[in-house]
Amino acid sequence: MDIDKEEIRTLFSRIMLQDREAFTTLYQRTSGYLYTRILLIVRDRAIAADLLQEGYIKIWHGKLRSPIDAPWAWLCQVMRNQAIDHIRQHGRRGETALLGQEDNLIAPPPQQEKERRLTDCLSRLEAEKRSAIVLAWYHGFSHPEIASHLSAPQGTIKSWIRRGLSELKQCLSQ
C-alpha cells in the first residue's frame, strides 16, 4: 500500500477544521494498513477493530493533534500506542503462538518499497537481534516481556535492540 504523505498532511489539515469528507477519505486510505498493524500486536480481530475505531475517534474529536511535518508516521504511532496501551491494561492474547518461533520471527509482509528494504535488512540481522526488534516493534512486547520470551537478561535484550537498530540504520542507508 502506497501512502501519499502529502495527501495525508492535507487531509489532517482539513480534519482539524472538522471536514467529514476528509476524515472519511483518511479512514478509507489508511484503516486497512493500520488495522493490520494493530492486529499484529493484540492478536484479536474484534479488539483490533475497536482500537482502530477508538484511535480515529480521538483524532476526529481533536484529542490528538497531528504534527505538521510527519502526520503519517504520527498516525502509525498513535495506532501502535493504542494497541500497546491495551496490552498493558488487559494482558496479551495469542502470545503462545510465538513460542518456539524466535528464530523465524519476521516482520509482516512488505507492501511498500521501504518496507521491502526494511524486511531485507531485518533478514540480515543475527536471529537474536531480529527477534528482539520484531517482538518490540511489530508485536509490542516490552523489554521485560522480550527478556522472558527469549530467556535472556533484560540488559542483553536492550543491547540486541540497540545494536540491531544501528545495523538496520546502516543497512538502510546503503
Distance CA 79, CA 86 (A): 11
Instruction: Please tell me which residue, 64 or 6, carries the higher pLDDT value.
Output: 6
The pLDDT, as a whole number, for residue 72 is: 85
Average model confidence (pLDDT) across the chain: 83
Instruction: Please tell me which residue, 58 or 67, carries the higher pLDDT value.
Output: 58
Residue 39 has pLDDT above 90, yes or no: no
Q: What is the mean pLDDT of residues 154-170?
A: 93
The pLDDT, as a whole number, for residue 91 is: 75
The pLDDT, as a whole number, for residue 23 is: 94
Distance CA 20, CA 18 (A): 6
- pTM of the predicted protein model: 0.63
pLDDT in tens, 97-155: 444 444 444 445 555 677 778 888 988 999 999 989 888 887 778 888 888 888 999 99
2 CB neighbour count, 10 Å cutoff: 9
Task: Name the pLDDT band for 93 (thresholds 50, 70, 90).
Answer: low
- Specify the 3-state DSSP secondary structure of 61: coil
